[in-house]
Amino acid sequence: MGDHRPEVFFDGARTAAAHVVGQPGDGWQVAKATLAFERGAAMLGLQVGFRRDLENLIAAARESGAAADPLLRDKLARAWIGLEAVRAYALDTLGGDDPTQASVLKVLWSRWHQRLGELAMEILGAESMTGHDEWQRLFLFSRAETIYGGSDEIQRNIIAARALGLPRK
């Protein structure tokens, strides 16, 4: 079908010198640094919400009796371990100068949160999607997290090319 890459060019764009971020011509460098922050350091704040989501799901599993199911207990334990791994990676790479670390972290946390949303549906059932704003938000919004800020596919391409030295296509 061809190579479709979303690109935007601003030829001849002008602005006041006071509005220029960085040096003229370095726009892509500024954009990459901004995205790296979004995927990296900003993740530390997201973890507070992720921890709350997990704790609320554990409480809901206890309340509904689902926590007695050994398979669901195992999945909840894996979710807790996964969040601890994401947290450890975020702290370990905070302030690092390797831009691929932000891509790795973005894939880790977005996939973790999506799995948590799926686990919530498994524990609470489809009826939790009606009248339970917290679980609707978790399940539906976690789908978008694998897309915004650079889709997981883009992040994997960055990791493959920059961290592993693999050729593009």
Show which residues are catalytic.
38
Supply the DSSP string of 42-58, one letter for each residue.
THHHHHHHHHHHHHHHH
HSE at residue 55, side-chain half, CA atoms within 13 A, is 6
φ and ψ at residue 10, rounded to 5 degrees: -120, 85
Q: How far apart are CA 28 and CA 74, in angstroms?
A: 44
